[in-house]
Amino acid sequence: MSVLKPGVMALGFFFGVPFCYGQEMQVDGKLDESAWRSAIDFSTFFQVVPATHAAYENRVAAKVLANEQGIYIGIINYQPETQRKKQFNLQDGFMQGEFNRIYLDFSGDGSSAYLFATTLGGGKQDAVVTPQRTTDMDWDGDWESAFDEQPLYWSNEIFVPWHSVSFSPKVDAAGAATIGVGIQLYDLKSNNIFANQKQTIGNSDFFLNMPKIEVAIPQQSQLNFVPYVSYQHHFEPRQNKSHEADVGFDLFYKPAHHQTLSFAVNPDFAQVDSDDVDVNYSAVETLRTDKRPFFTQDISVFSIGALQDTKLIHTRRIGAGSDDNRELITPIDTAVRFVHQGKSAQWGAFAVNENSLDSGAGKDFYAGRFSYRSTNWQSGVLATHVERPWLDRSAQSLAWDSQYQDDKWSMQSAVLLSQIDEGDPQSGNGLSLNLGYQFTPNTELEGQFLRLNDGFDNRDMGYMKRNDWQYSKLAYSHAVNVGNDWLTRIKHTLDISYEANAEGLKLPARQGYKAQLMLNNGAQWSVHLDQVRSGWQDNIGANSEPFFLPTAFETRVLYQSPYTGEFSWAASVEFDQEGLSGDALQLALDMTWMPHANWNIKFNNYYRDGDGWLVATQKNQLSEYDRTLFINTLKVSALIAENLEFSSTLQWSTLEAKSKGVYDIITDGLNRHTNTDTSFEDARLMSQFKLRYRMGAYSDVYLVYRRGGTQLNMLDKNQVGQSSWLESVKDNWTKPIENSVILKVRYLF
């Protein structure tokens, strides 16, 4: 790690707390430094999945110590060499080797936490855990890990510098700060999880009962400067450009652990990674993630726990397409953010100014947040403002959110307001409520309610599936720990929901039962039996009027093989009713081959065939299709050398839609057309081949080649499906829309 640290280290030493500041620590996984002898020990671990809470002294042992640089966690996993799996994964990728999870609540009060996970094999994950116990994987932190193997055990060593996270240390009169530490081992061969506390993140009292330690945390200031430069060459011109160059930087200054000032000029829009192929013809937008450091840092401060992915801040809006539709990515001139995390109060604000472009189509974004918390509850407000001069539009939103948690109850609520000024002003409101009760560690009940009126609109900066919506759900889950020779656990889940629009018109709503069986060999089965109750579909798209849909039934069976060995797979089959009177068959197959501990190859196949797919082809016109959708994804990832990674993704899809019937949506129902054909084919291809050389946290060299295309053809019904799927893949490869090579360098000073 290359880090400029102009901070002042306070003494912070006090008598009686087990830590060592004297010896230099080496993160090598071996835990052989003498400082580990004075570390805090965790020797008793509990089985939390399945939640038998049986105590073990011989499964896992962990040590924690702190010095002026940060906190170290050493974990010894007592798994013999013949009973463990070693496998590397890309950062934040699916972990298919033995791994440890560490949850660190640096403030010791549940205001937020950070997740660090690392495999036997060197794979890593990190995430922010919000006060609502949701996990945001977009955050990437500055930390180190290493593993070591012995015949009877393997060990993990993790180091998290104090400067890599923002938190408000709760310091007592003696100078000691309290930190929550949760440590887990995921045992791959059994799917069992062992932890140093009896709660998992799914339990309402997870933060309250997280084991606490006392350490001395020195006062520090920190300055990080992360410039980047990127160059793209387009072999097929994109928006009349054959090449593009970008330069920008992020600057992070922390005068203390609980304060962060961030400043960015043209922050990186993560041009390196392509989004997955998205065959979405519904009226519900696909929710995308964001990896830009400026927006992922301190994300928990701005977190609002509203249901159904309702967000007031969806950072992918910032720097996205321009309002005149001429730019796919709008450069950001400047961005600034300040966050303060006090002992009880937290507040933060940010402002982002996009480039105005020649047409004035850039946008300005502003947000402010204040919250106050005690041991069991938190409450706060979040306000946003967006200026869109090219549209002569401004948008504001406001949320008041609260949450409560104890050993039985959990509650999250949010009151939402929006105001759009564009022509006639438009005001809207909403309410989100989530209430849970935990009878036992294996039994819980949850109720959800979301209401957004037809005037609510947060899409200028936020995300919502729809407005004009009332959504209610009651969910009951109960797990039975069996523990015989072949079956470990059966978990039953029952969901009952009701949906209507804001005027009370009843919408289709799902009622479901799911049984999950965990087998003793690590395999899993799940069975879904769902009923979608009849109701009015009022969100088909194109501003169409509502029409009535009958009751539909769905059945799905999923099998997941054990994750051990060189090959694993999962397969599902689903039969369901769709549309007005149609039926569908859906098949999925995931296969993973791991020929070496540093290599894995994943092949995903998705197939759906049905005769009742409904699409709004224009306002108040509904088309029903005999539809076949086939999506294939091939991913390869490898650790070529110690710091050199290779990854590739090849994804293609083919959608064949034969017009079965075309209807006008009228007041009395549906009026069928005669001799109207809206058949089409949609074929897409996305490929990416990436080399990444890691120099440290936020310090990388990328070399990426991307190639892809899209073909959308309106055809006569009898022409659909005449060409082979592989032919469409070939056409998109030989006639690409995207054909670029990208070189990007970023470095943390």
Cβ count within 10 A of residue 55: 12
- Per-residue pLDDT, 271: 58
For residues 200 and 135, the answer to whether their CB atoms sit within 8 Å is no
- CA distance linking residue 53 with residue 737, whole number of Å: 55
Q: Which pLDDT does position 64 carry in this prediction?
A: 96
SS3 assignment, position 347? strand
3-state secondary structure of 572: strand
Q: Between the CA atoms of 436, 438, 441 and 443, what dihedral angle is there, to the nearest 10 degrees? A: -90
Phi, psi (deg, nearest 5) at residue 153: -160, 165
Give the span between the Cα atoms of 488 and 523, in whole angstroms: 10
The model carries a pTM of 0.90
User: Which 3 state secondary structure label does DSSP give 51?
Assistant: coil
pLDDT of 16: 34
Nearest C-alpha neighbor of 661 from the set 670, 648, 672, 650? 672
Position 270 scores a pLDDT of 55
Pairwise CA distance, residues 589 & 586, whole Å: 10
Residue 14, pLDDT score: 30
Q: Write down how long the chain is.
A: 749
Residue type present at position 104? L
**DSSP assignment string, 79-99:** --GGG-------TTSPP-S-E
Contact between 336 and 365 (Cβ < 8 Å):
no
Question: Which residue stretches of the chain have pLDDT < 50?
Answer: 1-22
β-sheet bridge partners, residue 649: 635, 688
Residues 6+ apart with CB under 8 A from 742: 230, 231, 232, 271, 272, 702, 703, 704, 705, 706
